[in-house]
Amino acid sequence: MMLHIPGVLTPEQVAYMRQRLKDADWIDGRATVGDQGVKVKNNRQLAEFTPLSTELGQIVLDALARNPLFFSAALPLRTCPPMFNNYAGGGTYGNHVDGSMRRMSPNGQWLRTDVSSTLFLTDPDEYEGGELVVEDTYGTHEVKLPAGDLIVYPSTSIHRVEPVTGGARICSFFWSQSMVRDDMKRCMLFDLDRNIQALRARLGDCDEVVGVTSHYHNLLRQWSEA
């Protein structure tokens, strides 16, 4: 399931983060990938676990914690510290699949990457190219969102970032381990949750809505690995 979540960050938060990143010490993005990624990755990243990446990452995590749509879609058990990248001057990242495991901290626990997220910090008219292209069983999808908006998609997807031929594309990106490993089950739970919310708004907590809500939680209880 791919999902566009608008307005995860406010314009004020985006502006603050852009200002803090303006003079950041970017490193070669190939430092954080394996043998396959090195061959197709050409971008810059903020070094992990630095004071700046920790500060800005916490802003992102706090925003996610306040966003019910992200929780409903990802059902996150834990989310790794957000990272930040910068594509410019032809920067690109060819077709790849995200690594299946990430460390939560330099010496911390491992996280299984079930859900990938990209949070845009630059508007589409600030750069040329740079589309996130995700391939799944339903075809190929191009994504280029307003600053502050988030795209969520399964980490099992093959995806790429097209070359940025003008301006700069700055984003935060991160992974979540879901309480529900299987993407199809997460998708069904998300659809059920959205319909429950719509029914509650229309009918209130009538017996039928309570019954369907019970069904949702019993499915989550059965499928959850938490």
Each residue of 102-136: pLDDT tens digit?
988 887 789 999 999 999 999 999 999 999 999 98
Separation of alpha carbons 193 and 26, rounded Å: 40
Q: How far is residue 159's CA from residue 10's CA, in Å, rounded to a whole number? A: 27
Nearest to 79 by CA among 183, 190, 178: 178
How far is C-alpha 23 from the chain's CA centre?
24
- Residue 35 confidence (pLDDT): 73
**Residue 65: pLDDT band with limits 50, 70, 90:** very high
Nearest to 168 by CA among 9, 17, 22, 65: 22
Confidence of residue 68 (pLDDT cuts 50, 70, 90): very high
> In whole angstroms, what is the distance from residue 131 CA to residue 164 CA?
8
Enclosing H/E stretch for 22: none
Give residue-wise pLDDT tens across range 4-29.
Answer: 999 999 999 999 999 999 999 999 99
Total number of residues shown for the chain: 226
Please report, for the chain, how many H helices and E strands are present, in that order. Answer: 6, 16
State which H helix or E strand residue 57 sits in: helix 51-65
Q: How confident is the model at residue 40 (pLDDT cuts 50, 70, 90)?
A: very high
Q: How far apart are CA 118 and CA 132, in angstroms?
A: 9
- Taking 80 as the threshold, does the pLDDT of residue 33 lie above it? no
CA distance 179 to 177: 7
Q: Which one is predicted more confidently, 152 or 35?
A: 152
Per the CB < 8 A criterion, the answer to whether 5 and 120 are in contact is no
Could you give phi then psi for residue 4, rounded to 5 degrees?
-90, 120
Radius of gyration of the chain measured on its C-alpha atoms? 18
Residue 71, token pair as written in the block? 């929780």
Contact 191, 182 (CB under 8 A): no
What is the tens place of the pLDDT at every residue in 157-214?
999 999 999 999 999 999 999 999 999 999 999 999 999 999 999 999 999 999 999 9
According to CATH, what is the number of the domain 3-178?
2.60.120.620
Going from N- to C-terminal start, the domains of the chain cover 3-178, 183-223
Whole-number pLDDT of residue 113: 98
pTM: 0.95
Task: List strands edge to edge, sheet with 132-136.
Answer: 41-42, 92-96, 158-161, 132-136, 139-143
